[in-house]
Amino acid sequence: MQLEEFRTKLAATAQPVVVDIWAPWCGPCRTLSPRLDEVGGEFAGQVEVWKINADEEPALVRELRVMGIPTLLFYRHGTEIARRTGVQSVGALREMFTAALANDTALPAAGGMSDMTRLLRLASGIALLVLAAFTGWPWLLLGAAGVILFSAVYDRCPIWNALMDRLHRAPAESDAASRS
């Protein structure tokens, strides 16, 4: 598909569109796909979900300036309103789909911390590791350094995100089971 064909198809669509740029060999893409299918099903008839295989459409992916996969592009009235790269939780996807339906100018900012906060946490963790090296590697300093370093990157950890998504879904699933 050429960029002009893509834009024409977007312009002809009255509903918001979520474009999933993925590849079959991409592990995070395989993690995101069922979540996107689930939320896309909940918003069927309200938001369209298009999937573009990055291996089959490399020129289009380049022209859309997609640098990593999976990437979700959100369009309203043919205009890109937001993009998210990486695996998203079901809750985050629902929030983004809901925001895409609203008449706001853009989706809410991606979750996570600012770059400065991330940098400060990384620097603090490294400083504690250096201090631990000079004081005989005490477990308390090593543990604190590990916790601070993890706090700088937890939101980008696919294992952590999958675990949190599972924990957030567990109460809802048990509530549904108790109602039936």
Q: What is the pLDDT at residue 67?
A: 86
| Beta-sheet strands, E only, within the chain | 17-22, 48-53, 71-76, 79-85
Q: Which of 26, 101, 144, 149 is catalytic?
A: 26
Nearest partner of 69 among 37, 23, 107, judged by Cα: 23
Tokens 């796909």 locate to 33
Structure tokens at 68: 């990593």
Residue 157 designated active-site:
no
Residues 6+ away with beta carbon under 8 Å from 97:
16, 18, 39, 40, 42, 43, 46, 47
The mean predicted confidence, pLDDT, of the chain is 84
Q: What is the pLDDT at residue 19?
A: 94
Helix, strand, coil percent values for the chain (each to nearest 5): 55, 15, 30
Instruction: Give the C-alpha separation, 93 to 97, whole Å.
Output: 6
The answer to whether residue 114 scores a pLDDT higher than 70 is no
Nearest partner of 121 among 160, 156, 164, 158, judged by Cα: 156
Question: What structural domains and CATH numbers belong to the chain?
Answer: 3-101 (3.40.30.10), 115-179 (no CATH)
- The tens digit of pLDDT for each residue in 35-71 reads 999 999 999 999 999 999 999 999 999 998 888 899 9
pTM for this prediction = 0.60
Q: Which of 10, 17, 21, 29 is catalytic?
A: 29
Helix (H) or strand (E) holding 159: helix 158-179
CA distances for 152 relative to 23, 102, 124, 157, 168, angstroms:
28, 32, 10, 10, 22
